[in-house]
Structure 1
């Protein structure tokens, strides 16, 4: 059984550093405006009830658009990391099978491998004109598909006029069908990130997930039983009841915003920690399976935040929206808050009732 996280919201330990320790947060003297990051914790829309409709997201999209992010990152694996996970599948519990799209057909159609597609994307965007033609957008969409980034391909698709959403310029009929199917997915990377990016005139989103910490430890039956036992606690049952009540309100005018207020509330983060990671840390098994699980989780979050940092360094002072499964939110904000020139925005304030 591989590790799974039950959609929890984690919160890193926030004990103040010892006075003798050097603290990066004490060194915030830098030129220019801070890089501001808004972390939107989200339920994975694929797990939402059948009553969910993409149009319910409109009030949330309006709030996010008003914040005017200049960069959007998502919880998805980059094409290069998927290439790595496939090459070293035995070391990473075949994670690529679970998290990476199959892009062999797209790469064959364009005559590019992952490295070639990735390089072509960078070269294309580096020379991107202020007013690209429809053909240039179709070509870039095809490159994004071949490079394992369907969300960014869909951004280009949405930026085309409806009459121009067709094959041509490297985009074949199969790719067009894939893009059309992508638009129908219950997935926050599409329905929130890509939709918002196109609305704001952005050219792409940035995949920043990481599964290089995945290994065969999560396949251990004893480990799975130990962690599952840790999750069986009152905090978990309360979270499940809260989620059920919020899901029942989705069709109400304020239903979706109420759900996002809950998932981005620091009190919910503490409840989730108590139900999941905090409970796992206290797992009494002789092999300390729970601590192994939490170690994997922390490693993944550190690497995800490092990927976000790598994107941010391209545009110091930019506003960055990072959309991630709510279980990551507390860890993201804690780790991002350590960076010298980064300000973590208050998501709860953005989502509050008006």
Structure 2
């Protein structure tokens, strides 16, 4: 009874606070630039995680999707992966980031042994090699760069270099150890949007790399860490709602036709429709905000999600800061898309591009 009273009081205080919300008059999204030079254009492609595609899915049917994205001619591609430098930093704080490292970071031991470089040294060497790279690198230079990208814990950029090689040059040499060849061959077949969409697209476009922009906040709360089971059980119960059921129904209908170019394109067009962001919110984060538990697990979860999205978007913005006036394609899990676009739209020097125009093959999207 006491717990119920506490929850009711908290809800009443919450309602009073919402009634008094302050809305600032300053809106950066209304103050777009630049006054001189080409704008930064950003296309956010919401994607399934391809590991969840049916087992019989044939990646060759991604061809038409790749064609449409290539026609837009992005000059920068970002992916939902944690960078090698961030993984290296998180390893120094196992209490806060141990689970994140275990789940999302890669073991670079083989590449370190093959190149003699740890992640920080390899990251510096990547920058040096890219700065000195000629317009027509030799196959040996590309193999060397691929090896260093692997040591820098940037495997998808390593795969970009590998895919830019002719098949007869995808071999080992003094810089490319046979163990690294095996890693790259395996990576090229991995069921992921990074390996099957981002890397082949970057290679088609003549790009040298992709940018890893994910960021998983760590846990600094002992109470939170000790209550993980209850936390996730609560969040999963909140996900059991009509909006989640509607998303599942959509998915099943479209997954039935994935083994065709048209089926894949239909899936991506559906995922990127304007109404999807609200549906995602209602099934996931909006549901979490209704969590009645005294521990406010749902609000913990939403805080994690908003923090992660903000940091990911800031990483995208930083890439554009270094190379203004470019077309940037961000490939990210579909649940991130609405938040990415909302946050990016607040930036003075970011202009969003309509995904539907690109995926429909509209000539306007290519201008």
Question: TM-score by structure 1 length?
Answer: 0.92
2:11 paired residue number: none
Runs of at least 5 residues in structure 2 that lack an aligned partner in the other structure:
1-20, 363-367
SS in 2 for 1:300: helix
Distance 2:328 2:219 in 1: 27
SS in 2 for 1:322: strand
Distance 1:232 1:353 in 2: 37
2:319 paired residue number: 311
TM-superposed deviation, 1:253:
4.3
Indicate yes or no: 2:356 matched with 1:348.
Answer: yes
1:111 aligned residue (100, 113, 116): 116
Give deviations 1:5-28, integer Å, cap 9, x for gaps.
xxxxxxxxxxxx977532212322
1:288 paired residue number: 296
Q: Of the two, which has the highest radius of gyration? A: 2
SS in 1 for 2:42: strand
Against the structure 1 CA distance between its residues 286 and 25, is the aligned structure 2 distance closer, same or farther, given a 3 Å change threshold? same
Task: Say whether the 8 Å CA contact 2:217–2:304 is kept in structure 1.
Answer: no
1:54 paired residue number: 59
Against the structure 1 CA distance between its residues 210 and 20, is the aligned structure 2 distance closer, same or farther, given a 3 Å change threshold? closer
- Which is further off, 104-113 or 139-148? 104-113
Distance 2:129 2:346 in 1: 34
1:67 paired residue number: 72
Indicate yes or no: 2:346 matched with 1:338.
Answer: yes
SS in 1 for 2:309: helix
Aligned residues: 338
2:230 paired residue number: 222
Distance 2:302 2:336 in 1: 12
TM-superposed deviation, 1:93:
4.2
Give deviations 1:246-296, integer Å, cap 9, x for gaps.
110112441001100111112122111100000000111111110110000
Runs of at least 5 residues in structure 1 that lack an aligned partner in the other structure:
1-16
Task: Say whether the 8 Å CA contact 2:110–2:180 is kept in structure 1.
Answer: no
Task: Say whether the 8 Å CA contact 1:72–1:193 is kept in structure 2.
Answer: yes
Give deviations 1:196-237, integer Å, cap 9, x for gaps.
000011111111111134566375222122211111111111
Bigger RCO (CA 8 Å, 6+ sep): 1
SS in 2 for 1:166: coil
Task: Say whether the 8 Å CA contact 1:86–1:94 is kept in structure 2.
Answer: no
Listed as ranges, the matches of 1:294-305 within 5 Å are 294-305=302-313
Task: Say whether the 8 Å CA contact 1:85–1:94 is kept in structure 2.
Answer: no
Indicate yes or no: 2:195 matched with 1:190.
Answer: yes
Task: Say whether the 8 Å CA contact 1:93–1:215 is kept in structure 2.
Answer: no
Indicate yes or no: 2:332 matched with 1:324.
Answer: yes
State the superposition RMSD in angstroms. Answer: 1.6
- Structure number having the greater helix percentage: 2
1:200 aligned residue (205, 215, 218): 205
Question: TM-score by structure 2 length?
Answer: 0.89
